[in-house]
Amino acid sequence: MSSWRDTTCGVLSKADVGKKVTLAGWVDTRRDHGGLVFVDLRDFSGKVQLVINPERAPEPASVAHEIRNEFVIQVEGEVVNRAPEAVNPNLPTGEIEVQVETLRIVSRSTPLPFQVGDDVDDVLRLRYRWLDLRSDRMQRNLRLSHVVIAGIRRAMDGMGFVDVWTPSMTKGTPEGARDFLVPIRLQPGTFYALAQSPQLFKQLCMIGGLDRYYQIATCWRDEDLRADRQFEFRQLDLEMSFVDRQDVLDVMEEAVVGAFLAAGREPPPRPFPRMSYADAMAKYGSDKPDLRFGLEIEDATALTRRSEFGVFKNAPAVRYIVAPRAFSRAELGRLEEIAKEWGAKGLAYLVNDGGEIRSPIAKFLSEEELKQVQPEPGNTTLFVADEEATVSRVLGGLRLHLARELELMETGEELFHWIVDFPLFERDEDSGQWTFLHHPFTAPMPGDEGFESDPGSALSQHYDLVWNGWELGSGSIRIHDAELQQAVFRVMGMGEEEQQAKFGFLLDALAMGAPPHGGFAMGIERFVTRMAGEPDLRQIVAFPKIASGSDPLTGGPTPMPDSVLKELGIRALQAQAPDDR
Ligand code: ASP
């Protein structure tokens, strides 16, 4: 080892008793007992207790009074047994301590804004991230992230995938999110976009004969930041030629299993179960259902077609869930508020209070209706009647809310599943125009190639991977035929000229011998966040941004001086920095 240390703090044990060691690290805590000074010394490998005895080591003892938390020190000393009553069974090195002979302050620290590992506000942690990174939590998470990625890379390599680097700066293409733009000084007034994903490049790799491409690719999307979203993130991005859906799903499952094994965890059983998009929406009101609990949505549309209760009779869809609790009036009021936030007009209910039905609508329901929807004692049936999409959204949201509120999720269970058979197109809510559900390069289901006459009913060869209610990623079999690709663009309202301007290069490539191909992309940070049991991406990304889009550490983003902008052919409308160049 170096002159700074010959071993590390966390590895010392009883086996080392009697050894002379040189250690270097951070002062985790210092306890001054008048005479003896105890220091917990920390490095990446863990902590060890140092004892500084003024009688044996007078000079180190006087230096020890000066040291404060997070000073960097170097010590030499002997590993000794702790007295039996001083053994700390909670610390891996708790049976020993190091009797210090020399002590040197290597680096001092100003007073700390918080103690390492303290549960303080996230923004404060991010402002001083270098301190926060020293915590057990961040050390564990960043190392887990590394191990997971290494496991994925091994799996991909083992399956014959080739790591190809694709550009970060690309031509802006519509892929669903807003682009981050990069002005180009050599061509003022023009922009590249930061790649939202390597989608088209990986397809071009297939047309270029690579056969199996993968990359741990950084992607940029200008979207609002949330627990599971950052502006920039990485994905396991892959593409394969001459494959069917099954081949892609197999590869992804293998990569997930590889990551679990690398992290020393029991992998989820294969094959991962599959569910159609239609079933997911109908039964769980979500295309990323959490299957760790029941509360399935039931349908009462047919049953209520001739109902005396007008709200049910006239609604395009009537569906319900049965919650394992007889809710009070106040609780029902709160649930209705929540349902309204998701777009419901109201929330009808039947409460079974020990055999007695409590409900303003029971009197309108026929015996036959009641027989089917009446809850068991101690349960409540909650109904939403509306357009099908609204019903799904509201009951899907209520389902998740109730699971959290009533603690129905079986923790510890790791459920992976595929959602398949998505629609090819959906209506854009604002324009009413048909648009792609995922991206416009997804192939229709075999048999649905004639989608132009009825875009709404065509299914696609798109699939999503879901882990306990988190969408981990998506993929599809792609269109490998220029004509078919143009048909998709036409349905989206794109004329020939616009198609050529935006995607001419893709259409040219598809017309020059494109193999059938398909692929997938899985969010690495989302995956690691779940793996680490953390609530959000910020806990596993070294230097994340906060919800406002700012970086509390560096203070970015910042305005730019006019002279810089001018060179790029840009004029800022707001927040321009003074020109101090
Ligand atoms: N490019 C897609 C995405 O980033 C994934 C894919 O279809 O392979 O979501």
Which amino acid belongs to residue 400? Answer: L
Tokens coding 525: 């940070």
Between the CA of 123 and the centroid of ligand 1 the distance, in Å, is 31
Mutate to test the pocket of ligand 1, among 179, 219, 237 (most ligand atoms within 8 A of CB): 237
β-strand pairing of 317-323 with 380-386:
antiparallel
Rounded to two decimals, what is the model's pTM? 0.91
Sign of CA dihedral 276, 282, 284, 287: positive
Neighbours of 365 (CB within 10 A): 24
Q: Residue 230's Cα: distance from chain center in Å?
A: 9
The SS3 assignment for 504 reads: helix
Tokens coding 507: 């259409």
Paired strand residues for 99 = 51, 78
Sheet holding 169-170, edge to edge: 169-170, 191-194, 181-183
Nearest to 82 by CA among 91, 74, 73: 91
Query: What residue's CA is closest to ligand 1, atom 6?
Result: 475
Q: Which residue has the tokens 């309204």?
A: 340
Rounded Cα gap, residues 89 and 95, in angstroms: 7
Radius of gyration of the chain (CA): 30
Between the CA of 503 and the centroid of ligand 1 the distance, in Å, is 17
Atom of ligand 1 nearest to the CA of 202: 8
Which amino acid belongs to residue 78? Answer: E
**Residues 53 and 61: beta-carbon distance below 8 Å:** yes
pLDDT digits (tens, 9 = 90+) for 379-395: 999 999 999 999 999 99
Rounded Cα gap, residues 552 and 549, in angstroms: 9
Mutate to test the pocket of ligand 1, among 212, 219, 247, 439 (most ligand atoms within 8 A of CB): 439
Which amino acid belongs to residue 240? Answer: M
Mutate to test the pocket of ligand 1, among 438, 460, 464, 527 (most ligand atoms within 8 A of CB): 438
Rounded Cα gap, residues 259 and 261, in angstroms: 5
Rounded Cα gap, residues 237 and 243, in angstroms: 16
Atom of ligand 1 nearest to the CA of 197: 4
Query: What residue's CA is closest to ligand 1, atom 8?
Result: 520
Between the CA of 15 and the centroid of ligand 1 the distance, in Å, is 52
Neighbours of 529 (CB within 10 A): 24
Q: Residue 67's Cα: distance from chain center in Å?
A: 41
Atom of ligand 1 nearest to the CA of 442: 7
> What region, left, alpha or beta, does residue 493 occupy, with left being phi > 0 and alpha being psi -120 to 50 degrees?
left
Q: Which residue has the tokens 């007992």?
A: 33
Query: What residue's CA is closest to ligand 1, atom 4?
Result: 197
The residue length of the chain stands at: 581
Atom of ligand 1 nearest to the CA of 519: 8
Between the CA of 572 and the centroid of ligand 1 the distance, in Å, is 33
Cis peptide before 557 (omega within 30 of 0): yes
Between the CA of 521 and the centroid of ligand 1 the distance, in Å, is 5
Query: What residue's CA is closest to ligand 1, atom 1?
Result: 199
Atom of ligand 1 nearest to the CA of 219: 4
pLDDT-flagged residues of the chain (< 50): 581
Atom of ligand 1 nearest to the CA of 476: 7
The SS3 assignment for 12 reads: coil
Mutate to test the pocket of ligand 1, among 223, 235, 248, 479 (most ligand atoms within 8 A of CB): 235
Cis peptide before 289 (omega within 30 of 0): no
**Residues 183 and 568: beta-carbon distance below 8 Å:** yes
pLDDT computed for residue 74 by the predictor = 98
**Residues 458 and 471: beta-carbon distance below 8 Å:** no
Tokens coding 48: 């060890």
Task: Kindly report the three-state secondary structure assignment for every residue of 228-253.
Answer: CECCEEEEEEEEEECCCHHHHHHHHH
Atom of ligand 1 nearest to the CA of 237: 8
Q: Residue 240's Cα: distance from chain center in Å?
A: 24
Rounded Cα gap, residues 290 and 400, in angstroms: 8
Question: What residues line ligand 1, using a CB cutoff of 6 Å?
Answer: 197, 199, 474-476, 519-521
